[in-house]
Structure 1
């Protein structure tokens, strides 16, 4: 792909790498352990990639991952809701110990994803139609 980059990574780089992991366009970096079907995608931190389920670490990334496209809104910009969704993912991954709380966050995330999709679609349609494509 491109030249590898090594940690420590800046907060901006960490956010860009995590955004790349969740784009769904490319296969994410994953832990080699199956973890009984749990999400194996690694999470970028200042000190490198980590697995949320075990001690697996990775100390490099492709530099092109920092320039990952922002999907959704016109011009390749991302809805602020998408950034909120990424933050919810980080909170759920590191700070939620109770299944009920994790379910509530997942439910909130699903609603925010639908709302972000509607807003991004409306922004794309703004120049082409007088009425919004989706209403809240």
Structure 2
């Protein structure tokens, strides 16, 4: 229970830092209404981090993550204006994929068949 609370808090703090940094770095490229929505969600999450309620922190973190996706979509939409709808759709998929990257970790081993064949005397 305590570990879960610490992990939730760490995840929330990382999200706050990354989102703040992204906003500052791309201040001129972010539409005003999206920026306001993200800032409000960030303020709410920062307030929840002052308390000890893990469920509230998790809920606020999910809200910031959702609004951050809108931020990413708005950024991709701005860069894909000339590329048409296909570019915007790819941007949306990229933003969603980036947000879930931590959850979909795949553990794999790369085997070079050529080296394996030589090392085993040609027997596969």
The TM-score with structure 1 as length reference comes to 0.38
The TM-score with structure 2 as length reference comes to 0.41
